[in-house]
Amino acid sequence: MTNETSFTFGGEIVWRPSPETIARSNLQKFMSKHGLASFDELMSRSTTETAWFTESVLKFLDIRFQKPYTAIVDLSRGIQWPRWCVGGMLNIAHNCVDKYYGTEAGKRTAALYESEDGKTRSLTYNQLYIEVNHCANMLRVRGLKKGDAIGLFMPMNPEIVVALLAIAKIGGIVLPLFSGYGASAIASRLNDAGAKALFTADGVRRRGNLVALKPIADEAAAQTPTLQEMFVVKQTGNPVAMRAGRDHWWHEEMPHQSQFAALEPTSAEDPLMIIYTSGTTGKPKGAVHTHCGFPVKSAQDMAFGVDVQRDDVLYWMTDMGWMMGPWQVFGVTLLGATMFLYDGAPDWPGPDRLWQMVSRHRVTALGVSPTLIRALIKFGDEPVKKHDLSSLRCFASTGEPWNPDPWLWLFNTVGGGRLPIINYSGGTEISGGIVMGNPLMPLKPCAFSAPCPGLAADVFDEEGQPVRNRVGELVIRNAWIGMTRGFWKDPKRYEETYWSRWKDVWVHGDWAAIDDDGQWYILGRSDDTIKIAGKRLGPAEVESILVSHPAVSEAAAIAVPDAVKGSEVVCFCVLKPDHSPSDELRDALKERVAAELGKPLKPRDIKFVRDLPKTRNAKVMRRVIRAAYLGQEAGDTSSLENPMAVEEIRLLGG
């Protein structure tokens, strides 16, 4: 790629798996079963023999069909529109819940829950089966049926797991919604899908304060003509208005239902879920997923990457409105493991809350975001050291590119230099990861060990040629079972978004690089790219330099127009509590970037802010920062948790 910057990340390998870790792993068991001598051999065969690999995964996960498929995949409509498990009948709820009932597996814990005020609950797989059936019958009594879209606007509690699986059981279409959405964001998604019903709660506690959800749901329902039913969980006990004939209390309706419910016959390719993702335009994209797609890919990645097994407790800090919420539910239940759920702030009432919960519930696999770790570092090591974290077997992370300093803090301070950080990157339209760490491969800071098995991933230059040690576009050159079945009611937008640049190549929209050791790095969205005087770099390269300064807690770098260079860098920094903005600090940070990246990449300006605009899943929204700073339309901002941060940046605008 001409005039491109060389790849600047890398470093030494800091973790290697022990023989015991390798022998225990699902990935090694899968490879041994199929006579594969190395991970490279697995990658080669899984990406050239798609049907063999997919069928092998289905069998490894014990995915049971109500009617067998006649072919694994049909590519007659092109790589963009494959049909999977052709002719097969599969309702995924059977595999997540029903098949465990009355067996030894039914006695295991499916879900552990803790509320922000410290109350705890749990459900075994037998109990989950009964609750899902109660809920499925409650839906059917109210006239809801196969093909009806039903929204989930709830806290991360056991009821949201029950509701999700019950919608699947009746053949409905799940619409996961962020619990932090406003009414208009909810209404736009409900209307797009023609939703018939909505699950919500009276409210939820966040940092000790009541956040009322039911009034927001009511306002959204008033804007949704197709909505006929609303089911309300009593979570906090705050008074709410109930509309007669439409609104139903969960605790009043559920006990009257039968504990047995018929499994709705569904095709393997029937729609299971529409997950809306924010776009750079105002209209969100509705990624369509099927019974044999999203859940299978979720469980595959969870098994082969995070190595979740039946005795594991997985806690991924997420909301159901982000794909990692359904990912956790489907993946954990297909593997017969245990999920931990929490619906409060991770640093409330004290900075050790996260570590306290890991210790109390014996969490073995902890999924975090880099942004969260950057926020927790400011509290120092003491909140970590005061808790017994010996249950942890690994960390996992997704949502944002890492910077080396916070990665190493998690690895060394929290993990004692012993636990791998399974880095994971992909997207809603992928049903999980494109690249991921795994228990067989060594790790470098901030890196991904390899592509996920079954995905022919690569990094292309501007001419569509593979590159190494250079920043390029992350692409996929084959079909996989988890890929979205297009955007809801908008197939053309789907094709234009992912398939229009190079023939039969999925262009994901991320900058990536592969180093000499075959380790992968994600450097941010390609539409966040900074290009100065012909030199291109990802924002993570600048941000890593800034957060390595002892005064800086978080940073975001954007490109702004420049008449001579084309673009220049402007950076936004959140300082640690014991540091204050100053011209001296601003100049020091500018010089720090220039010293490491070269004088042409010295930032035009450093802006000090109280917060950076983030989604509920802690993803920094650089496109929103750039639009606000330049006084442009910010596009879809409905998933932002802290909209006031946008106004602060707008006031600083250039």
pLDDT band at 67 (very low <50, low <70, confident <90, very high): very high
Asked if residue 4 has pLDDT above 50, the reply is no
Asked if residue 503 has pLDDT above 70, the reply is yes
What is the pLDDT, as a whole number, of residue 1? 31
Listed residue (494, 480, 157) closest to 340, CA to CA: 157
What is the pLDDT, as a whole number, of residue 3? 33
For residues 336 and 343, give the distance between their C-alpha atoms in angstroms, rounded to a whole number: 23
Listed residue (57, 6, 175) closest to 453, CA to CA: 57
State both tokens at 286. Answer: 């509705």
Q: How is 257-286 classified by DSSP, letter by letter? A: S-S--PPPP-BTTSEEEEEEE--SSSSPEE
Q: Which domains does the chain have, with CATH numbers?
A: 19-90+270-525 (3.40.50.12780), 96-256 (3.40.50.980), 529-651 (3.30.300.30)
pLDDT band at 281 (very low <50, low <70, confident <90, very high): very low
For residues 287 and 241, give the distance between their C-alpha atoms in angstroms, rounded to a whole number: 33
Residues 184-208 have pLDDT tens digits of 889 999 999 999 999 999 999 999 9
Residues 481-499 have pLDDT tens digits of 999 999 999 999 999 999 9
Helix axes 50-60, 26-33, angle to 10 degrees: 120
For residues 13 and 445, give the distance between their C-alpha atoms in angstroms, rounded to a whole number: 7
Asked if residue 534 has pLDDT above 60, the reply is no
What is the Cα 209 distance to its own chain's centre? 26
What is the pLDDT, as a whole number, of residue 523? 84
Q: Within 13 A of 159's CA, how many CA atoms are on the CB side?
A: 19
Asked if residue 268 has pLDDT above 60, the reply is yes
124 neighbors 107 (Cβ within 8 angstroms): yes
Listed residue (36, 70, 67, 76) closest to 53, CA to CA: 36
% of the chain with per-residue pLDDT over 70: 96
Residues 222-251 have pLDDT tens digits of 999 999 999 999 999 999 999 999 999 999
Residues 434-445 have pLDDT tens digits of 999 999 999 999
pLDDT band at 279 (very low <50, low <70, confident <90, very high): low
End-to-end C-alpha distance for the chain, whole angstroms: 31
- Which amino acid, one-letter code, is at 224? T
Distances in Å between the alpha carbon of 123 and those of 2, 98, 117, 131, 158? 57, 14, 19, 9, 8
Distances in Å between the alpha carbon of 375 and those of 371, 482, 585? 6, 32, 20
pLDDT band at 641 (very low <50, low <70, confident <90, very high): confident
Per-chain mean pLDDT for the chain: 93
Average pLDDT over residues 467-471: 91
Average pLDDT over residues 420-424: 98
What is the pLDDT, as a whole number, of residue 83? 98
Q: What is the DSSP letter of 466?
A: B
211 neighbors 205 (Cβ within 8 angstroms): yes
Residues with Cβ < 8 Å from 294, sequence gap 6 or more?
A: 272, 273, 326, 327, 330, 431, 482
Asked if residue 261 has pLDDT above 70, the reply is yes
Rg, C-alpha atoms of the chain: 24
What is the pLDDT, as a whole number, of residue 616? 67
Helix axes 622-630, 644-651, angle to 10 degrees: 40
What is the pLDDT, as a whole number, of residue 621? 87
Q: Order of strands across the sheet with 457-460?
A: 457-460, 472-476, 506-514, 520-525
Residue 105 exposed, middle or buried by CB count within 10 Å (0-12, 13-18, 19+): middle
Residues 602-638 have pLDDT tens digits of 999 999 999 999 876 677 888 899 999 999 887 777 7
Residues 540-589 have pLDDT tens digits of 878 989 999 999 999 999 989 887 777 889 999 999 999 999 999 999 99
198 - beta bridge partners?
151, 230
Residues with Cβ < 8 Å from 499, sequence gap 6 or more?
A: 80, 505, 506, 507
Pair type for strands 394-397 and 365-368: parallel
Highest mean pLDDT among 89-98, 271-280, 508-517, 645-654: 89-98
State both tokens at 31. Answer: 């490879």
